[in-house]
Structure 1
């Protein structure tokens, strides 16, 4: 008789597989536990972590707590108080409802739960090790629930090796908790990382105060209120003025019916509303809360409930686009100052903030052509190209120099050719004639990037620095400040000297040469993004990436007018580089049209 191939998994193995879907990293554990605390009507939640949450996570709340019977059931799979039938999935108001979080977490850690209802005399203590219940007893404890998770993934080492550095994992936890705090401003949140308080929100129901506590008071002052309703759908929150840019979408929080979600649809609507107001390299800070009927969304499409489906995506897209556009185009100060106060509407069973404060901000009227590009420090007054040759000769004559023929002021190209500059097109491209024939078009930004990159790369050891006569002060959020503190030697090698002068304030006294001081904060953020994405930063790779970024930020931009003398100098320096035909990112810097190519374009062949 043939042995069956199909077998039923034992409960422990099934729990570990379920844990793989629910518990991706320590931040997943924090998210699930904090959402449970919010569903328990908590008003104060404290999260304590060590070693990025791998060795220790503790989530304490002052919610309703559980009886002994409920505590024993809560660690079983599919045990939930949120739904009773499949139909309830289409009207879910709670954050958790699957009944998978606690057993999944307990299956891959050393787990303990202490919980007490407010009207009980004693708490219940439950201990689970690797999915096996080892102790259930009566214990002392305050009202609410405390969950401790130690040695995460101790029994699944293959999962553990894919985790990033403690700093990176701590950063993910900080992001998760920060976004949950923005979705529930009526709840006070605290995050203690390695015995250091790194996040604290007031819990007064004021959304703007929660934003300021996470991103700093300066960020709060640069926000515009959003309040828009149409067709039974409301969009509320805050978006940044185009002058406040961030280096990634981590600064954007999207909330749907009190649930923090990831949504490319909402992100695209936000981007479209900012169309032409932002450079390609920046993202606006945004906190948007979308309120719509529960039966028009499906929250059961992702194991971690981080993504949801909408029944009418086009309707949602229009509402978000119009809401953000209206906030950005408010032209009169009285409109912004008179914006209606709003609060995050709670689901049916949630607390309603007692005192929601409105926001009276300054009006911002965006320019149709976007923010003005910063002028290069070395830039001269541009010369009209029609008179460029004569102007150069006149300048030399006034200086007492013999007027050399313009053809001598050429840049020898890498292929042995010499380039005679002809002019600039669209304040972006340089047009030149090759000595041996042909037409050369040079991307001025890409060319200058290559020049600066090789200049910075030529130095061994620390990147060449400039000492700032007037230090630059930057405010970082707690997560960024932690990264800076843990990577001081890295920042020093990359040309930065940073001194902490407050809980989240830093003074920059040295920074890479050629990078304008006005770019200091953005460049610093670029390095932080690079550090966050690496488990153990490779020094050579990190140096290369930072030199790329430094060259990009210091290079002339599209839209910068150059004089003929500047163009000549640029081409001469480009010719001296080892790879003049591409920028450090691999984009073309020079495109050549030979005589045959031109003949084909004009159909002469």
Structure 2
């Protein structure tokens, strides 16, 4: 079962080689029992690497699920300390942040290489009745929008003004749209069969990636009065070690003495009610997670929750042009296979599978 659901990993960078397999986002477990790690041909345990693999999947798997993997690492001997465990099962890595960066990149690249349906160039033929209804409806006077008609184009144009219809190539358009039904888009892959797309999950992924790009543009709020934070020695050491990370997340922090820091800006999405407590809580988390990448995952879960509130209805029926635009935006996403909650967005049924179902 694992072999049918796995993705190959093959990455080399900075003298470090990573090879093996990871389960695809649909093949996960509720614990870490399916995780096997080898470093320099020795079976080991590394919570740091396990967490980094999970983070490499981003929002493509649900928060409480764990990926399955078999990974072989080749690292320079001086980068690995195997003497931290009596049976030499657990290892300590000399440069944990570099290893985490590489494994996240390796997993991300493997996910991007997942086989996707081939794009089918639009053909002249369409479903005549549905297509005619779609375009003749545009001529209906605005007042008819209030009538309970089955003309979905006019209704949905009001609900979704953000769709931008432009002339695009077949590759940019994504799979050719065949039809739409309430909640779903039906498209055609090149090899035949049909792609069934959940429009609500597709829209969730599109909105999430737009919001993520916006948040990474450093939306910050400047404090009218800078706040001095007094830290313990341990907290101050953690602050000093992870200052660049905090700045990348939108915090404006500068050293103001041996164990004191001045905060003059925080991320736009954070509350400024009790900044001192917030900073101390962050320092506590950074001490627990030396690689400090968990905050990226927390931010992504927060964005996913916000994006879910703005998605289109699961019962609405899109016009063909709206469906094509949504699919175009979905196929433009980094992760277009799963929504930010880790649920599958689409399934592809080939002709053989369809015959089995009929």
Whether TM-score is above 0.5 comes out as no
Q: TM class by shorter-chain length? A: 0.3 to 0.5
Higher relative contact order (CA 8 A, sep 6+): 2
Compare CA radii of gyration and give the structure with the larger one.
1
- What TM-score does the superposition give when structure 1 sets the normalisation length? 0.24
- What TM-score does the superposition give when structure 2 sets the normalisation length? 0.36
